[in-house]
Amino acid sequence: MDIAAHITGTIWKINVAVGDAIEEGDEVIVLESMKMEMPLEAEVAGTVDRVTCAEGDSVSEGDTLVVLRDD
């Protein structure tokens, strides 16, 4: 399962690391767009397999930011 950017913006904060177990609804990343902070929440539970961005990166809508593996 991939967690993708829902809007073009800048990665403001990454709240997970590789190996973290997360639950549905956990705040994974905070994007900043138009001077607003917008949290990205996990839609499913899983374990973080990869984080494909860094704080300060610019991302486009649809870019994969975190890859989860099923537990």
Q: What is the CA radius of gyration of the chain?
A: 11
Hey, what domains does the chain have and what are their CATH numbers? 2-69 (2.40.50.100)
Quote the pLDDT of residue 71: 67
> How confident is the model at residue 24, as a pLDDT?
95
Q: Are strands 27-33 and 9-14 parallel, antiparallel or unpaired?
A: antiparallel
Per DSSP, 3 falls in state: E
Q: What is the pLDDT of residue 1?
A: 87
d(C-alpha 60, C-alpha 46), whole Å:
24
pTM: predicted TM-score of the whole model, two decimal places: 0.90
Regions of the chain with pLDDT less than 70: 71
Q: Can you give the pLDDT at residue 19?
A: 97
